[in-house]
Amino acid sequence: MELSALQVRSILIDVFVLVISVALHEFGHAIMADKLGDDTPRRQGRVTLNPIAHADPIGTLLLPLVGGVLSAAGGGAGGFGWGKPVQWNPARIRRGISMSTASILVSIAGPGMNLVLGTVVALVNALLVWRGVVTAGGDIDTILHYATNTNFVLMFFNLLPIPPLDGGHVLGGLVPYRHRTAFETYAKYGVFIVMVVAFNSRIGKIFLIPALFCADHVRALWSHVFGVVF
């Protein structure tokens, strides 16, 4: 299997976008826990925008690279990965905030960062096209489109109510105590459910369709504001 220079360039760009997007996601978890009073992420060096601090050798680098190569060769789909989980201690959260509330806030902070990054990238894209720095449909425009889409996909995927995804933690924080046993039983199979969702294209549309729908509408918003098409 031999890849062209263009394919290698595309794979490296895709992985770079994923690394930055995942880093911002994990930073969101870390900064929220820190703001709520738990200094565990700060002591572990996670309250930083440095991608290296949030990168998982397999989930952030190896798997996306392999997936990108397989995708380029027509044998798989790239773009799937994860970052190093942020560790935090609910017992260190300041008084007045319940553990369930803290868990929900820390959990949604990651997808929230992807929402912010995707929206900002689309804004920058519109500004560059408006100023004539970037040509609509050109290489940079395509990369920024991909970055926007990636962040919205990450946001919706992580909000699925399946442990150990962020949406699963949110669900866990909302489940009444009397149903905890049932939830814990469900959580045991969460990893397998996530794998099915991630690698089954038909089921994957559950989050892919709304993610791309939102990404397109964010671009449409900035297109309207700046009077450009990109």
Mean pLDDT of the chain: 93
Question: Which pLDDT tens digit goes with each residue over 202-225?
Answer: 888 888 999 999 999 999 999 999
Residues sharing a CB contact under 8 Å with residue 186, sequence separation 6 or more, in sequence order: 163
Both 30 and 141 in one domain: the answer is no
Whether residue 161 is found in the same domain as residue 87: no
In our burial notation (b when 16+ CB lie closer than 10 A, e otherwise), range 41-72 reads beeeebbbeebebbbbeebbeebbbebbbebb
Which pLDDT score is estimated for 178?
A: 93
**83 & 137 share domain:** no
* Rg of the chain over all Cα atoms, to the nearest angstrom: 19
- The DSSP secondary-structure symbol of 81 reads -
Q: How many domains does the chain have?
A: 2
Residue 32, C-beta contacts closer than 8 angstroms, at least 6 positions apart = 105, 106, 109
Which tokens hold the place of 16? Answer: 């770079």
The model's pTM is 0.93
Residue where one domain finishes, among candidates 97, 121, 150? 97
Instruction: Report d(CA 189, CA 163) in Å as an integer.
Output: 8
By CB atoms closer than 10 A (0-12, 13-18, 19+), residue 123 is middle
What whole-number distance in Å separates Cα of residue 89 and Cα of residue 103?
10
Residue-wise pLDDT for 26-77, tens only, equals 999 999 999 999 999 999 999 999 999 999 999 999 988 888 887 777 655 5
Residue 69 pLDDT: 84
What's the whole-number mean pLDDT along residues 153-161?
96
Q: Catalytic: 2?
A: no
Residues 228 and 121 in one domain: yes
The residue range of the domain holding 154 is 98-230
Domain final position from 68, 97, 126: 97
Angle, alpha carbons 26-122-27 (nearest 5°): 10
The verdict on 5 and 113 lying in the same domain is no
Residues ≥6 apart with Cβ < 8 Å to 127: 226
- Specify whether 224 is located in the same domain as 191: yes
Query: What is the model's pLDDT at position 207?
Result: 86
What backbone torsions phi and psi does residue 198 show, to the nearest 5 degrees? -70, -35
How many C-beta atoms surround the C-beta of residue 184 within 10 A? 12
Which pLDDT score is estimated for 2?
80
CA distance 29 to 15: 21
**In this structure, are residues 230 and 126 in contact, taking their beta carbons and an 8 Å threshold?**
yes
pLDDT in tens, 4-34: 888 889 999 999 999 999 999 999 999 999 9
Identify the active-site residue in 14, 26, 38, 166: 26
Shared domain check, 188 and 141: yes
Q: What is the pLDDT of residues 176-204, one digit of tens each?
A: 989 999 999 999 999 999 989 888 878 88
Measured on CA atoms in the order 76, 80, 84, 87, is the torsion positive or negative?
A: negative
| Shared-domain flag, residues 137 and 217 | yes
The C-alpha torsion from 222 through 226 and 229 to 230, rounded to 10°, is: -60
